[in-house]
Amino acid sequence: MADFDPEKFEDKYEHYFPELQRAYKQAFETMNNTYDSELVHAIDQAILAESEPFYEGDGAFRVELPENPVEKLGGVIVDEEKAETVLDRYLDELEAELQAVFGFADEL
């Protein structure tokens, strides 16, 4: 992969689409192997499909979610606390994958 350019990340889908796909896929696979696959799939499809990754600087990424994300899990029977816990863990995993894919994992 070419060197990461924070300015190019402004147009991330034009410049870094394959890397973003890889980070989201790797986070999904890790979560799917650890947590309830139905819940993980629902989070992926209903919440993370509408998420937006941002580069914060110094190798850190942030993933912005849609408003009231847990409410988007309509078809999955799960209590709100468990859904929030798994979603928080998923975000941590996704941010770590973004750092790894873009070569920042060893710097932090």
Q: Is there a domain that residue 108 lies in? A: no
Residue 26 to residue 98: CA distance in whole angstroms: 10
User: Could you tell me if residue 107 is inside a domain?
Assistant: no
Mean pLDDT, residues 16-22 taken together: 96
Mean pLDDT taken over the chain: 92
DSSP label at residue 50: G
Flag whether 2 is in a domain: no
Q: Which domain holds residue 65?
A: 8-101
In a domain, 48, yes or no: yes
pTM for the model stands at 0.90
Please give the pLDDT value at position 107. Answer: 56
pLDDT over threshold 60, residue 71 = yes
Q: Is residue 73 part of a domain?
A: yes
Average pLDDT over residues 14-19: 95
Strands (E), 4-107: 52-57, 60-64
How many domains is the chain partitioned into structurally?
A: 1
> Residues 30, 106, 51, 15: what is their CA dihedral angle, to the nearest 10 degrees?
-120
Q: Which residue is associated with the tokens 């847990």? A: 70
- What percent of the chain is modeled with pLDDT above 90? 82
